[in-house]
Amino acid sequence: MLDTHFGHGERFLAAWSAWQADPQRCPLLQFTAVLPGALSPAEVQACHSEASPAQAAALAQRMDGLLPGVHRISFEQGRVMLTLWVGEVQPMLRQQNGVADVVCLQADFADDPHSIKALARHCQRGTVLQVPALTDSLAKALQTAGFVFQAPSDTPPTARFEPHWEPRQRAAVPAPVARAGSALVVGAGLAGAATAYSLALRGWQVTVLAEGDSPADGASGLPAGLFCPHVSPDDSVLSRLSRSGVRMTLQRLRDLCQEGEDWGHTGVLEHCADGGTGLPAHWTQGPGLTWSHAASSAQLQTADLPEDTVACWHAQAGWVQPARLVRAQLAHANIQFQGQSHVARLQATEHGTWQALNAQGQLLAHADIAILACGPATAALLPEDAAWSLQAIRGQITWGYHSMQNAYALPPFPVNGNGNLVTHIPLEQGQAWVMGSTFERDVTQMPVSAVDQAVAHAANHAKLATLLPESAAPLAPWFDPADTRCQPTWGHVRCASHDRLPIAGPVSATAPGLWAHTALGARGLTLSVLCGELIAAQLHGEPLPLDAKLAQHLGTERLGRQKLQATL
């Protein structure tokens, strides 16, 4: 459904209620709406204080931080998806993608040809158009654009998109699938689990292949990591991507994981050692402050930083035990995990399906589509015409347990900037802290040697000395391999693309049905859920979970352009 004016969510809440009450409801309700400007949670709650109170409260809780752009909000364990296009109607209809089954037209929708043409972009043959108030000029404009009114007496007036010409839609590459089928996912880390879960929500039967015995046996096995928005004065591509990713990561954590045990919505303090907060100048008020703002004196004091320290506070941020998020997503009934399955080769069959083979050529799994989500191992499974430039990056963290000797040096919330310190992680043996990580580019050696571990401990301690100077000395023994309190580093290899942005999309026109979700680098917790939803939306021709132009920065098409530029 597409609503050209969200209002206070009246039509969305009505559609959600009808979906809930229908015993034959579709597995997934997708509702897209245009919102001219930010709407506060209090405004939504006040408007629906009596009707649908539980649903209105759930909607109000998620209506924060609505900066201009596209926002994906989910309910019902991800089975009800609300996509808000915050901005003016005509530009949003023209710039964003997605075809609707039902369009609800606002009463004052412009009847000029440009607006009607923008509306028709989101219609296919049979799309139902509901018009609350129909003027003669609007009726004529709609009929000229291919809409046929069913009966003049209908209240409200209803039309269908049935043009006498073949409508020209923006070409989708690849073409959307007609229905969910079977999928195999190579990799059981954050990327693989997020993609598998998004597909399972849409009815796919998914087999996830892992090289080890259990999920998250690679870089996603990190004891703890952060999800946190990136900020920049010009609100860069990465900044906007990170906000979309954080919103969706938070929603999935709330749906599937136990707060306080698996993750914590603690906020994150960013110590800006370079002297600038990175905050856009226009964020002195408005929805941007919901995301990030200058740190308060109390927050600086809690982290034992001087009052004149330049820092910002990220409210929509926190820590996660990544392996727990991975396992929670793979627990979906439509997902089968298959360990001890090293994929040496993927091959397409004459029937258009995909097979995963081991080193001996034995079949591990087969499915209608395949998704490469195996980090550094992705490169070896790509077809020849998709030889992307992926850089391996080994990372090591220093970690330890809270004790009477170090507790006073560990702040109650995570701190990032030059590396990051995450504290109060509830592991089985007690509460732990993590500091890191190193970025060892083009290094793939595993396991990590004792010499390399010592170098990593020293590098992480140097980062801590910049990040939290008052904590560096008390925690020094935990970074000294000669001290019994020092644990071996935890290390693994990640990978990144040439522009340090993830890759999420179809691999190659010569390999239909082969997709990739990789190159997450150090931002897997922030961006993996977003990228998984992007792949699922592209597969089904759904509204994208983020701005269409931003999605291009994650797509595989940019890799071909980069390869071409390198040859010129």
For residue 464, what are the CA distances in angstroms to 360, 485, 527?
47, 17, 25
CA pair distance 363, 340, nearest whole angstrom: 13
Please tell me the distance from the alpha carbon of residue 34 to that of residue 26, in angstroms, as a whole number: 23
Q: Superfamily for 2-161?
A: Vaccinia Virus protein VP39 (3.40.50.150)
Is domain 391-496 annotated with CATH 3.20.20.450?
no
Handedness of CA 553, 556, 557, 560 (dihedral sign): positive
Strand partners, 226: 319
Return the bridge partners of 400, or none. Answer: 433
Residues of the chain with CATH 3.50.50.60: 182-217+324-380+500-567
Taking a C-beta distance cutoff of 8 angstroms, is the pair 326, 528 a contact? Answer: no
What does the pLDDT read at residue 184? 98
Rounding to the nearest 10 degrees, give the CA dihedral for residues 497, 502, 503, 504.
180
Q: Which residues of the chain are in CATH 3.40.50.150 domains?
A: 2-161
pLDDT tens-digit profile, the chain (568 residues): 999 999 999 999 999 999 999 999 988 999 999 999 888 888 887 777 666 778 888 999 899 899 999 999 999 999 999 999 999 999 999 999 889 999 999 877 888 889 999 999 999 999 999 988 888 888 899 999 999 987 766 677 899 999 998 877 555 567 889 899 999 999 999 999 999 999 999 999 999 999 999 999 999 999 999 999 999 999 999 999 999 999 999 999 999 999 999 999 999 999 998 888 889 988 888 889 999 999 999 999 999 999 999 999 999 999 999 999 999 999 999 999 999 999 999 999 999 999 999 999 999 999 999 999 999 999 999 998 888 889 999 999 999 999 999 999 999 999 999 899 999 999 999 999 999 999 999 999 999 999 999 999 999 999 999 999 999 999 999 999 999 999 999 999 999 999 999 999 999 989 999 999 999 999 999 999 999 999 999 999 899 999 999 999 999 988 876 554 554 4
pLDDT at 152: 61
Ordered DSSP codes for 76-88 = GGGTEEEEEEES-
Q: What is the pLDDT of residue 564?
A: 47
Domain with CATH 3.30.9.10 in the chain: 391-496
> Which amino acid is residue 153, in one-letter code?
S
Rg, the chain, Cα only: 25
CATH fold of the domain at 182-217+324-380+500-567: FAD/NAD(P)-binding domain (3.50.50)
pLDDT of residue 560: 73
Give 395's contacts (C-beta < 8 A, 6+ positions apart).
219, 436, 437, 438, 439, 440, 491, 492, 493, 494, 522
Pair 432, 390: CB distance under 8 Å: no
Report CA 88 to chain centroid distance, whole Å: 25
pLDDT attached to residue 567: 47
In the block, tokens 């997709």 appear at 515
